[in-house]
Amino acid sequence: MSETAALTAEKLKLRSGDLIMSDFDGTITLRDTGWVVFDKLGLDRAWDWEYRWRDREISSIECLRGQWGLVDLPPDELIELVDKLEVDPHFPEFVERARGVGAEIVVASDGLSFYLDRLLERMGFEICEGDPNPDDPGECIARYVNLAELTDEGVCISFPHTNEDCMQCGNCKSGHLARLKRHYGRTIYIGDGYSDRCPAAQADVVFAKDHLASLMEEKGIDYASFESFEDIIEATLD
C-alpha cells in the first residue's frame, strides 16, 4: 500500500458522514466479469469493441451491446460461468466496518445487473432500490448499474442511468456521485478502470489501481494505490 504525498494517513481515515463509491468489475470482483466470459468463449472480437470505446470512438452503450451480442450461451450456462467468479473476500468486512464508523458505501458499475446483483447477494448483501437515506442507512446496499435480462435470444441490456449531455458511459457514475455528495461530508472513490476516470476526478479521496491509477497519474490527481480491500481497510480503518 502506498500513497502520494498529498494523501496523508489522517486524510485516508474514514469518518462519520463520508460517502464511499466503489466500482464493481475488477474492484469488488477479482477480474472483470465480461472479460471472464469473453475469454472463456474465445471472443477475440470483443477487444475491437473495447478499444473503440477506450479511444472514445463509441460509447460504452455501443461497446457493451456489441460485446455481449457476441455471447451465444443459454441463460443457465451463462449463470454457471458467473457463479464461478471470485470476489474480494475482504469487501463485506470493509462495508461492515465503514458503516460502523458512520460512513456509507454504494456500488456503481458500467457493467450489468444480472451478474452484479447475483454476486452481491452471494456475499450476503440485500440490494436497495433507490438512493441510500443518510438519516436512516439500513442494512441493504445501493447499487447503480446497467440493467440486463437473460433470454434465449441473448442478453438484453437497458441503460436507465445515461447522461444525455455526454453519452460516453451507459451508467453515468459522475451523475450519481454529484447527486449523492450533497448529503455527505467527503466522497471517497474506489476503482480500477476507464469508466472510473470521471467520478474519481471529482472525489475528495481516490483509491486506484491498474488503468485508473495510470489515468490519475496522467491527470496529476493524487490517489492511494491498492490491490485489495484488505489494503483499503488497513489505510482507512485500522
Number of domains in the chain: 1
In a domain, 78, yes or no: no
CA distance 132 to 60: 26
pLDDT tens digits, one per residue of 23-67: 999 999 999 999 999 999 999 999 999 999 989 899 999 999 999
Hey, what amino acid is at 224?
Answer: A
In a domain, 225, yes or no: yes
The residues pairing with 188 across neighbouring beta strands, listed in sequence order, are 20, 205
Q: Give mean pLDDT, residues 194-200.
A: 94
pLDDT at 120 over 50: yes
Give the domain CATH number at 210: 3.40.50.1000
pLDDT at 2 over 50: no
pLDDT at 3 over 70: no
Strand 154-158 and strand 187-191: pairing? unpaired
Domain residues for the domain of 118 are: 9-31+88-236
Give the sign of the dihedral formed by CA 184, CA 189, CA 190, CA 195: positive
What nine digits make up the cell of 110?
Answer: 458500467
pLDDT tens digits, one per residue of 58-113: 999 999 999 999 999 999 999 999 999 999 999 999 999 999 999 999 999 999 99
pLDDT at position 1:
39
In a domain, 160, yes or no: yes
CB atoms within 10 A of CB 45: 13
pLDDT tens digits, one per residue of 143-186: 999 999 999 999 999 999 998 888 789 999 999 999 999 999 99
In a domain, 172, yes or no: yes
In a domain, 70, yes or no: no
pLDDT at 225 over 60: yes
Place of cell 470505446: 53
In a domain, 66, yes or no: no
Q: pTM for the full model? A: 0.94
pLDDT at position 137:
79
In a domain, 63, yes or no: no
